């Protein structure tokens, strides 16, 4: 098979890139190691920056989003038993975030891809990438026991943190930076109305908590937990009691509980691989970087990488210019590191660390107290939360 761009991974970054390239008249094939149902069963992010919504519009997949998504003008930060609102819209001159589940973004992109008759090869096993230093890279995969080869101009590695793309590059060519946090997030999805219209980020003596949602009827809640915890130790009742104990009285009283429809523990990590281009292989999304979810940036960073990469490829084919391709890694990384900083800062301010003592807890409270009483500090948070410009 011959194509212009072979995309490895049908997560949000691979599917969005594929849809935009199709709009620009650039032929592409996606290879995904799982089946479509598995891809759609992963419950992950839910807060979209305006830049990502704009890209979904450009890709022609935002109709359902505009009908069903929840626009959010603000968030709340709770500490010392009180909630404080950060008015994102006023502080940023009108910018907001949109709550729409990653699963729904993925579903919309999958449906558009299938309606356009574009090739996605699911259940593609043993994907391997070859000849990225020449002009004709190849991607091989095994399907139903038979080995196939895709010959292309470029390979986009959109295959997440555990994918094959980053692993295909000699270790000496990649520099990695990493921070692993000494706790995880226990998340519960439930068909209950959200406790509040806006997200509540909670700093509490018992640990961090987050009240989030996917729709007006579906809530997503998290509590910070030790990494050694097993999800089987967390009955629904234990989870709801723990969450209530970390909320202010009004929220604890209002919280509607119900059976969990998904429950999992996610570790928190910051990770960046540099550069994001190796010859004719580009990395995008989680294949190149991971952020702890505290700043709601993982999915949005995947979208900003796709922004730079899709434009670079359009320039290459449309204007026969290498400039965008040559600048891709530096452009993407500049924004990646700012989101890494913000996600690290949110995580540091809101969680209890195992080694935190009285001094560090008072510094945390002082920082949060400063934040909610300073227009400048709230503006800095708001600008980052709604997303820095591309
Ligand atoms: C448990 C969890 C919870 C999260 N919660 C949040 C959140 O609340 N907020 C937030 O902003 N972000 C969150 N994130 C991060 C966010 O979901 C990711 O940043 C986003 O999915 C990145 O998209 P991606 O397409 O780059 O990677 P992925 O979504 O990981 O997609 C990669 C795709 O590549 C496929 N693949 C992997 N290896 C191969 C291979 N060898 N061959 C072919 N295909 C392959 C995978 O099956 C997958 O479909 C969460 C992530 C996880 C894991």
Please write the tens of the pLDDT for every residue from 252-264.
Answer: 999 999 999 999 9
User: Residues, the chain, total?
Assistant: 390
Please write the tens of the pLDDT for every residue from 311-355.
Answer: 999 999 999 999 999 999 999 999 999 999 999 999 999 999 999
String of DSSP letters for 208-265: -EEEEESSSS-EEEEEEE-TT--GGG--HHHHHHHHHHHS-HHHHHHPPP--EEEEEE
- Indicate the angle between helix axes 298-319 and 323-350, nearest 10 degrees: 170
In this predicted structure, what is the pLDDT of residue 360? 94
Q: pLDDT category, 139, cuts 50, 70, 90? A: very high
- Nearest in space to 14 (alpha carbons), one of 98, 113, 99: 113
**Pocket lined around ligand 1, Cβ cut-off 6 Å:** 8-14, 31-34, 39, 44-45, 102, 124, 127, 158-160, 162-164, 266, 285-286, 293, 296-299, 302
For residue 195, what are the CA distances in angstroms to 10, 99, 211, 220, 353? 33, 15, 7, 10, 27
Please write the tens of the pLDDT for every residue from 94-138.
Answer: 999 999 999 999 999 999 999 999 999 999 999 999 999 999 999
Q: Give the pairing type, strands 97-99 and 70-72.
A: antiparallel
The answer to whether 201 touches 177, Cβ cutoff 8 Å, is no
Residue that is written with structure tokens 């922004």 in the block = 307
Quick one: average pLDDT of 154-163? Answer: 98
Residue that is written with structure tokens 């209890």 in the block = 352
**Rounded CA gap, 216 and 143, in Å?**
41
Quick one: average pLDDT of 139-167? Answer: 98
Quick one: average pLDDT of 144-149? Answer: 97
Quick one: average pLDDT of 141-153? Answer: 97
In this predicted structure, what is the pLDDT of residue 45? 87
Q: pLDDT category, 377, cuts 50, 70, 90? A: very high
**How many other CB atoms sit within 10 Å of the CB of residue 230?**
7
- Give the distance (Å) from ligand 1 centre to CA of residue 367: 32
Q: Ligand 1, from 9, 289, 295: best to mutate by most atoms within 8 Å of Cβ?
A: 9
The number of angstroms, rounded, from the C-alpha of 151 to the middle of its chain's C-alpha atoms is 30
Residue 30 DSSP symbol: E
- Residue nearest (by alpha carbon) to ligand 1 atom 30: 160
Contacts with 306 (C-beta within 8 Å, 6 or more apart), sequence order? 13, 16, 17, 20, 55, 284, 285
Quick one: average pLDDT of 146-166? Answer: 98
Please write the tens of the pLDDT for every residue from 220-232.
Answer: 999 999 999 999 9
* Strands, sheet with 125-130, edge to edge from the N-terminal-most edge strand: 125-130, 138-143, 146-151
- Give the distance (Å) from ligand 1 centre to CA of residue 138: 24
Please write the tens of the pLDDT for every residue from 277-295.
Answer: 999 999 999 999 999 999 9
In this predicted structure, what is the pLDDT of residue 368? 98
Quick one: average pLDDT of 297-304? Answer: 98
The answer to whether 97 touches 198, Cβ cutoff 8 Å, is no
Q: pLDDT category, 42, cuts 50, 70, 90? A: confident
- Residue nearest (by alpha carbon) to ligand 1 atom 20: 299
**Rounded CA gap, 207 and 260, in Å?**
21
Terminal C-alpha separation, the chain: 34
Catalytic residue numbers read 72, 201, 293, 297, 385
In this predicted structure, what is the pLDDT of residue 372? 98
**pTM summary value:** 0.96
Task: Tell me the HSE value of 354 on the side-chain side, using a 13 A CA sphere.
Answer: 8
Q: Ligand 1, from 20, 102, 225, 297: best to mutate by most atoms within 8 Å of Cβ?
A: 102
Please write the tens of the pLDDT for every residue from 184-207.
Answer: 999 999 999 999 999 999 999 999
- Residue nearest (by alpha carbon) to ligand 1 atom 21: 299
- Residue nearest (by alpha carbon) to ligand 1 atom 6: 45
Residues above pLDDT 90, as percent of the chain: 97
- Give the distance (Å) from ligand 1 centre to CA of residue 303: 12
Quick one: average pLDDT of 357-362? Answer: 94
pLDDT greater than 90 at residue 43: no
Which residue ranges form the domains of the chain, and what is each CATH number?
Answer: 5-70+99-177+269-347 (3.50.50.60)
């Amino acid at each position: 098979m011959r194509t212009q761009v072979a995309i490895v991974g049908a997560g949000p970054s691979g599917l969005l890139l594929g849809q935009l390239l199709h709009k620009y008249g650039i032929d592409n094939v996606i290879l995904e190691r799982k089946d479509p149902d598995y891809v759609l069963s992963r419950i992950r992010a839910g807060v979209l920056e305006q830049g990502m919504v704009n890209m979904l519009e450009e890709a022609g997949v935002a109709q359902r989003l505009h009908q069903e998504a929840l626009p959010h003008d603000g968030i709340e930060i709770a500490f010392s038993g009180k909630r404080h609102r950060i008015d994102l819209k006023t502080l940023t001159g009108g910018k907001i975030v949109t709550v729409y589940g990653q699963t729904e973004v993925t579903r919309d992109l999958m449906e558009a891809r299938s309606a356009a008759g574009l090739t996605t090869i699911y259940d593609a096993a043993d994907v391997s990438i070859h000849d990225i230093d020449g002009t004709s890279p190849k991607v091989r995969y095994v399907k139903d026991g038979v080995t196939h080869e895709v010959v292309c101009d470029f390979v986009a590695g959109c295959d997440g943190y555990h994918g094959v793309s980053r692993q295909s590059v000699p270790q000496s060519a990649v520099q990695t930076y990493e921070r692993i946090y000494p706790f995880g997030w226990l998340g519960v999805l439930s068909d209950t109305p959200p406790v509040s219209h806006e997200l509540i980020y909670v700093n509490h003596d018992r640990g961090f908590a987050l009240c989030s949602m996917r729709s007006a009827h579906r809530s997503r809640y998290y509590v910070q937990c030790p990494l050694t915890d097993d999800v089987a130790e967390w009955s629904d009742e234990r989870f709801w009691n723990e969450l209530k104990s970390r909320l202010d009285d009004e929220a604890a009283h209002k919280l509607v509980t119900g059976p969990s429809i998904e429950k999992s523990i996610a570790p928190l990590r910051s990770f960046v691989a540099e550069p994001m281009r190796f010859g004719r292989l580009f990395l995008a999304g989680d294949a190149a970087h991971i952020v702890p979810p505290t700043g709601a940036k993982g999915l949005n960073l995947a979208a900003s990488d796709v922004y730079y990469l899709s434009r670079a490829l359009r320039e290459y084919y449309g204007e026969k210019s290498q400039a965008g391709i040559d600048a891709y890694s530096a452009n993407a990384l500049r924004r990646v590191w700012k989101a890494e900083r913000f996600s690290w800062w949110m995580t540091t301010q809101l969680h209890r660390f195992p080694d935190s003592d009285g001094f560090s807890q008072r510094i945390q409270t002082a920082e949060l107290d400063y934040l909610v009483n300073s227009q400048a500090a709230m503006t800095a948070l708001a600008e980052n939360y709604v997303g820095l410009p591309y």
